[in-house]
Structure formats: C-alpha cells, structure tokens
Amino acid sequence: MSGEQLSSPGIAAMPSPCALPRKSGELVFHDEWERRAFAIAVSLAEGSHFEWHDFQKQLTEAISEAERNDPQHPTRGYYESWLVSLEALLSRKRLAD
C-alpha cells in the first residue's frame, strides 16, 4: 500500500493487539487475499455498513481466541483473524449469508 493513505485515522492507528502489521511504516500483506480482505472491511466501514469500532472489537476477540493456548504460536495468522472477524460481523449484521 505504498503511498496510499487510509481515509480514517482510527483504522490506521488501531492499538494492539489488532494493530495493522507494518514494516518501515508501510502496511504488510503477504498474499493478495490479505490485501483484498483488508480493503473490503475498510470499504464497508467507510460506506457505513458497520461501525469500525465494532469490527475492531470483533478482531480483538478473534486474535485473543487464536492466541488463547499459546500467544507465541497462534492458531491462525493476523489476516486470517481479520477474515474471521469480517465474516462474523457481516453475518451478525445480516450483510452476508
């Protein structure tokens, strides 16, 4: 996402444990699906389909669940938790079947 700016500072500055992965200040995506999941969540929040703080809370819960047994070896990666959170929120808001 080099050179791109998030329109919402609340998204860019999420606190731990759900802080966005960065390297030298730039967002880090290892696979294209991670970038897409990120873009979908941001777009839906900015389109007022859900409040960002609701997504952030869901993400914190998903990360905590993944780290429950061993925080050093979570059961899924950051963007996998991101996707789990997005799916759960969309289901709860009845935006997806």
pLDDT at 5: 53
Grade residue 12 by pLDDT with cuts at 50, 70 and 90. Answer: confident
Calculate mean pLDDT across residues 78-97: 91
Mean of the per-residue pLDDT values of the chain: 87
Mean pLDDT, range 45-57, rounded to an integer: 92
Q: What span, in angstroms and rounded, lies between the C-alpha atoms of 93 and 73? A: 31
Q: Where are the domains of the chain?
A: 50-97
| Rounded CA separation 19/73 (Å) | 17
Give the tens place of pLDDT for each residue, 64-80.
999 998 888 889 999 99
Q: Which amino acid is at 25?
A: G
CA angle 64, 86, 35 (to 5 degrees): 100
- Whether the model pTM is above 0.75: yes
